[in-house]
Structure 1
Amino acid sequence: MAYKETFNISGEHLLKKIKELISDANVTKITIADKNEKEIISFPVSIGIVGVLLAPVFAAVGAIAAVLAECKIIVERKDDIEHEATAAEKDEINPLV
């Protein structure tokens, strides 16, 4: 199961925070919204993303940061504890798998 976190951040710190979040292993999706929570951009985050694929995302985030004084970052994270429990439950149901 995933859960969401919201960060209120100024435009000048937006790109730095996005880079931090992308490097976090349990982040699955990042949404940038204005201060009224109107979605501006949303993109999935996967472990295998390389710098070349992130360049357009960083360019878009930089442009957004230049326009917005304040924004919100909504982060979807996977719940590692529940994920591990689910895997253990599957092993109990069918130990031969």
Structure 2
Amino acid sequence: MAFKETYNISGENLLKKIKELINDGNVTKITIADKHEKEIISFPVTIGIVGLILAPIFAAVGALAAVIAECKIIVERKDAESKENNEETEQEDNPVI
């Protein structure tokens, strides 16, 4: 199960915040919307993502930051509780002998 967080942010801090969110590790999807919550861009974030894949995303976010004064970042994160439950289930399914 995922949960969402919303950040109101100025365009000048947009790219910095996106990079921070990607580095958090438990983010699954990032959506950038205008101040009226109309979606502008949305992209999935996966664990194995590399710099070459992120470069076009950062370029697009940088271009948006130059045009938009205020926006919202909507972040979908993995639910920590369900992750813990999955780890416990995996341990039960694979007993140590």
Q: TM-score, normalised by structure 2?
A: 0.89
- Give the deviation of 1:88 after TM superposition: 2.5
Amino acid across the alignment from 1:19: K
Query: For 2:52 and 2:86, how far apart are their aligned partners in 1?
Result: 34
Determine if the alignment matches structure 1 residue 14 to structure 2 residue 10.
Answer: no
Moved over 2 A (4+): 86-92
Aligned 1:62-73 pairs, distance under 5 A:
62-73=62-73
- Give the deviation of 1:59 after TM superposition: 0.5
| Other-structure match for 2:85 | 85
Query: For 1:55 and 1:17, how far apart are their aligned partners in 2?
Result: 15
Percent of aligned pairs with the same residue?
A: 73
SS of the counterpart of 1:9?
A: strand
| Other-structure match for 1:39 | 39
SS of the counterpart of 1:81?
A: helix
Q: TM-score, normalised by structure 1?
A: 0.89
Query: For 2:76 and 2:14, how far apart are their aligned partners in 1?
Result: 17
Tell me how many residue pairs correspond in the alignment: 95
SS of the counterpart of 1:58?
A: helix
Q: Structure 2: give runs of 5+ residues left out of the alignment.
A: none
Q: Structure 1: give runs of 5+ residues left out of the alignment.
A: none
| Other-structure match for 2:58 | 58
Computed over aligned residues only, the root mean square deviation of the Cα atoms, in angstroms, reads: 1.5
Amino acid across the alignment from 1:51: G
